[in-house]
Structure 1
Amino acid sequence: MLKTLAVANYRSINKLVVPLARLNLITGPNGSGKSNLYKALRLLAETAQGGVVNALAREGGLDSTFWAGPEQISRRMRNGEVPIEYTVRQSTKRLRLGFASEDFSYAIALGLPEPSNSTFSLDPEIKRECIWSGPFYRPASSLVDRSGPLIRARQSRSWDVLAQHTPTFDSLFDQVGNLRSSPEVLLLRENIRGWRFYDHFRSDAEAPARQPQLGTRTPVLHHDGRDLAAALQTIREIGDPEALQRAVSDAFPGARLNIAPLQGGRFAIEFYQDGLLRPLSAAELSDGTLRYLLLVAALLTPRPPTLMVLNEPETSLHPDLLPALARLIIRASQQCQVWVVSHASRLIAALQQHPECNGIVLEKNFGQTEIVGQGMLDEPAWYWPD
């Protein structure tokens, strides 16, 4: 489980250290930085997938994602005694991402390359990566250290060189990691690759979830929901079928769900409701009903991830469905760590009733994202590698 998430110099986030629990609820007004915090977590996930540089390119390049304000906002600036203005930087300009977990922790720093004649002169470079044990970085707790192209792993009181010519666009997760020389890299890479993000379920008329699909055992729902029928049937066979039926009847009293096999190995959804003489197919379901079933399939997975992230799951849902969704999310948090970004007041209120819900309310002050009520003594201990 992640205990701390740290982000620096990314869009509206100048410096932010976020305490995490099993169930995390991220809220705040529009423009407060919820999406930026979510995107920062996705960037961290890309480090283990080999796609962090490409992900930054899709955002417009590293230079456009840097925090646009001054490095430090002084007390006089905050009091309005002097205008917000550029100050002399005290540190090298870096986009920094990191997290602390229950076993190993990780941080990455990205920067712009030195001027060159390369056609890829705007590609960001990975300047530093570290893996350590414990809640925050200390040189003595460092296990794997990457500085520029050099990657080293600690061996007792000395360091072993794992790679000397690592490409600046490749993370250490792409270059090293085996059970003998660097088990920490292998374990952490597989842990991060197991994170699941659900934020773009399609529910339009052409959505894959509305079409009968070839069915194979599907313990993990695809991020776009294309294998919904197979995922629901997998829950019925090797998951918790009673929980599936409760989730359906909780939101739609008297309704039940069936998965019908078709010719050619395809699966189709049959949704029975009181008062109807025949079941509804996925193509006939409303956007909200289909999206709710997609969330049910994601949250009742027979193979829980280490971290599941739901970005605005209330989209297209009627407010009356949100308490049932909250109960599903709370149930899922007993099996894995859950991160929810939401605007919906009914969903927020239902989740906040759970005693272990870690509510994080964001606000923007002087252009930078902050956590409401977080003072210096409330912030988890965190130190970036030099």
Structure 2
Amino acid sequence: MLTTLAIANYRSLRSVIVPLSELNIVSGENGTGKSNLYRTLRLLSDTAQGSVIASLAREGGLSSTLWAGPETISAAMKRGEHPVQGGPRRAPVSLRLGFASSEFSYSIDLGLPTPSTSEFAFDPEIKRECIWSGPRFRPSALLIDRRGPVVRTREAGGEWRIVASHLATFDSMLTQVADAQRAPEIFTIREQIRSWRFYDHLRTDADSPIRQPQLGTRTPVLSHDGHDLAAALQTIREIGDVAQLNQAVSDAFPGASIAIGRVGNAFTIEFHQQGLLRPLSAAELSDGTLRYLLWIAALLTPRPPQLMVLNEPETSLHPDLLPALARLISAASRSTQLWVVSHSSRLLSALQQDDRCNAIQLAKDFGQTLVQEQGLLDRPTWHWPER
């Protein structure tokens, strides 16, 4: 389980260190940085997929994603006594992302490229990557150290061994040096991150593929767009917790049940409702009902990931369904670390009934995102590796 998420200089996240638990809910007014915090998890996920540089390019490049305010914010600036302006930089331009866990922790430092004649001269470079043992960085805990093109691993006796010396500045060591024999810590971190799942903006409109019969194959993991919903539900019925599936349906829709039908090789959803003579198909279900079934399939997966991120799961749901959704999320958080971004006060209130819930409320102060009521003594201990 991740215990800390750390971000420096990503958009409004000038310096944010967030403690994490099994169930984490992120809230705040519009513009406080909830989406930025969500995107940092996506960027960390992209490091293990080899696409972090491309993801930053889609966001406008490093110049667009970096903190746009001054390097140092003085008290006089906040009081309006001095204009907001920058000065000579004391530290190199750097966008840093990292997380800690009780076993291994990881950080990546991205910066400006060295001057060159390449047409890709605006691509950021990976300046340093580190993996260390335990939640706190210290030189003696460092296990893997990547500086520029060189990746070193610490041997059992404490000596360093070079495992790569010509790594490209746009390649993460997680994708290029993930060898279970030479560098098992890199392999472990990569597979951990690759298991993360993100569910965002699931389509339930009239033209959504979810509403049409879909080819049925065993689907222990619901796809990110949910098109294989029927197959995912049937997989839960066969190899998952069918009792929990039935309970989740009846909890939200008393007296209702679901079955999976076939049209040739394709699967269809059959929603049985009390008082109706025939089941309803996915094409006939309301957006809210269909979306709730999507959350059931995602959260009751027979193959739980290490981390699952839900972005605004309350979308299209009637307020009366939110307590049932909260119970479903709380139950899932016992086998998967959950991260929920939400605007719904009713959903947030229901989730906070769980004693394990970690409420992260964001606010803006002078352009930068802060965790409300987090003092210096409340922040988790975190130290960035120097370049």
Q: Same fold (TM over 0.5)?
A: yes
Residue 239 in 1 paired to residue 257 in 2?
Answer: no
Write the distance in 2 (CA, Å) between the matches of 1:311 and 1:25: 10
Equivalent residue for 2:178? 177
Larger displacement relative to structure 2 (68-77 or 192-201) = 68-77
The alpha-carbon deviation at position 75 of structure 1 amounts to: 2.0
Q: Which residue pairs with 1:228 in the alignment?
A: 229
Q: Report 1:14-29 matches (<5 A).
A: 14-29=14-29
* In 1: Cα distance, 2:206 partner to 2:103 partner: 45
Residue correspondence of structure 1 range 249-288 to structure 2 within 5 A: 249-263=250-264, 265-288=265-288
Equivalent AA in structure 2 for residue 384 of structure 1: W
Offset, 1:262: 2.2
Provide, for residues 321-349 of structure 1, a one-character-per-residue CA deviation record: whole Å limited to 9, x for no partner: 11100000000000110000000011011
Residue equivalent to 2:290: 290
Corresponding residue number in structure 1 for 2:195: 194
Deviation at 1:30, TM superposition (A): 0.3
Is contact 2:28–2:363 with CA below 8 Å preserved after alignment?
yes
1:249-289 alpha-carbon deviations (Å, 9 max, x no partner) = 111111110101221x2110000112222111001111111
Give the aligned residue type for 1:76: A
Residue 365 in structure 1 maps to residue 354 in structure 2: no
What amino acid is aligned across from residue 153 of structure 1 in structure 2?
T
Deviation, 1:370, is 0.3
The reply to whether residue 122 of structure 1 matches residue 132 of structure 2 is: no
Question: Which whole-Å CA distance do the structure 1 matches of 2:355 and 2:165 have between them?
Answer: 49
TM-fit CA distance, 1:80: 2.9
Aligned to 2:62: 62
Describe the superposition over 1:174-218 as per-residue Cα deviations: whole angstroms up to 9, x where unpaired: 111223221101111000000000012111111121111111111
Secondary structure of the corresponding residue to residue 242 of structure 1: helix
**Secondary structure at the counterpart of residue 328 of structure 1:** helix
Structure 2 equivalent of residue 341 of structure 1: 341
Q: Secondary structure at the match of 2:143?
A: strand
Which SS does the other structure have where 2:49 is aligned?
coil
Q: Which amino acid aligns with 1:221?
A: L
What is the rounded CA distance, in whole Å, between the counterparts of 1:134 and 1:75 in structure 2?
A: 36
TM-score norm. by structure 1 comes to 0.98
Please state how far the C-alpha of 1:81 moved relative to its aligned partner: 2.7
Deviation at 1:368, TM superposition (A): 0.2
Shift, 1:245, TM fit: 1.0
User: Secondary structure of 1:48's match?
Assistant: helix
Give SS of 1:105's match.
strand
5+ unaligned residues in a row in structure 1: which ranges?
none
Q: Aligned Cα RMSD in Å? A: 0.9
Whole-Å Cα distance in 1 between the matches of residues 312 and 174 of structure 2? 30
Name the CA distance, whole Å, in 2 between partners of 1:321 and 1:304. 23
* Counterpart Cα distance in 2 of 1:361 and 1:278: 45
Structure 1 distance, partners of 2:39, 2:235, is: 31
Given that 2:216 and 2:266 are in contact with CA atoms closer than 8 Å, whether structure 1 keeps it comes out as: yes
**Counterpart residue type for residue 273 of structure 1:** Q
Alignment partner, residue 376 of structure 2: 376
Name the stretch that deviates more: 329-338 or 201-210.
Answer: 201-210
| Distance (Å, rounded) in 2 between the aligned partners of 1:350 and 1:60 | 38
Match of 1:42 in 2: 42
Give the percent of matched residue pairs that are identical in Structure 1 and Structure 2: 65
Give yes or no for contact 1:96–1:109 (8 Å, CA) kept in 2. yes
For this pair of structures, how many residues does the alignment match?
A: 385
Distance 2:167 2:282 in 1: 49
Instruction: Name the residue aligned to 1:302.
Output: 302
Query: Are 1:200 and 1:223, in contact at CA under 8 Å, matched by a contact in 2?
Result: no
> Who is 1:137 aligned against?
137
Contact kept in structure 1, 2:175 and 2:190, CA below 8 Å = no
Q: Match of 2:72, as an amino acid?
A: Q
**TM-score computed with the length of structure 2 as normaliser:** 0.98
Moved more, 110-119 or 184-193: 110-119
Residue 91 of structure 1 aligns with which residue?
91
2:209 is the counterpart of 1:211: no
Deviation at 1:157, TM superposition (A): 2.0
Uncovered stretches (5+) of structure 2, i.e. residues with no partner: none
Amino acid at match of 1:73: I
**Per-residue CA distance 1:338-364 (angstroms, 9 max, x = gap):** 000000011011001111100000000
1: CA distance between counterparts of 2:205 and 2:62?
33
Residues 104 and 134, structure 1, Cα contact 8 Å, conserved in 2: yes
Aligned-partner Cα distance in 1 for 2:80–2:352: 36
